[in-house]
Chain A
Amino acid sequence: NAGVTQTPKFQVLKTGQSMTLQCAQDMNHEYMSWYRQDPGMGLRLIHYSVGAGITDQGEVPNGYNVSRSTTEDFPLRLLSAAPSQTSVYFCASSSGLRELFFGEGSRLTVL
């Protein structure tokens, strides 16, 4: 049982480049979300989805897009990367209001 899988684990981008962080879960969870973790700021919610075809903004959505075409996948897109988006990104999923299961994280550096 793979749980929540994120790729890539590490990525370096130049300012202005675009990229997609992939997230997949095999637990048939309806809820999926993306967080970013910055030093001293805990985890902040970027976007979330309560099911296929449904997405909504979290606390810090600017500069990011998401889509949810299937229950399993929830990719996060950076349209034009900025140094302020240097962070560690976590994807998570849950069933109902139970605990979130997190991926291993993706460390992104924007130069």
Chain B
Amino acid sequence: AQKVTQAQTEISVVEKEDVTLDCVYETRDTTYYLFWYKQPPSGELVFLIRRNSFDEQNEISGRYSWNFQKSTSSFNFTITASQVVDSAVYFCALRSNAGNMLTFGGGTRLMVKP
């Protein structure tokens, strides 16, 4: 069985602060894929990033960056200089190469105050 844990249920920051959203996963598979999705107040699910288990290189996309550490089974997401528009629920998810199930964490609600 696979599992994704997002221990932070809610985070509140002031605009321009940096914030890191934690994601820890469990899987017995050696090949798997990790994802982050954003769910803004409007409710849709927006894909942010996909990372496979063989690629531990960190990735940066504008103000967003992701830190994948296989040794600690973590795939953390950092927003630099947060903005009010970053306010949303963020989900981390795991999909194994062998299975067809995408397992989501419980989500982290990020509130960015002006």
Contacts and interface: CB of A to CB of B under 8 A. Distances in A.
A100 interface: yes
A97 B6 CA distance: 22
B33 interface: yes
A42 to B, nearest CB: 4
Interface residues of B, number: 20
A13 interface: no
Given A42-B6, A92-B102, 8 more contacts: A42-B104, A42-B105, A45-B101, A45-B103, A97-B95, A99-B35, A104-B43, A105-B44
- By secondary structure, the A interface counts as strand
A43 B100 contact: no
Contacts of A102: 44-45
A97 to B, nearest CB: 6
Interface string B5-29: 0100100000000000000000000
Nearest to A56: B100
Interface residues of A, number: 25
Nearest to A58: B101
Contacts of B95: 97
Contacts of A59: 101
B50 interface: yes
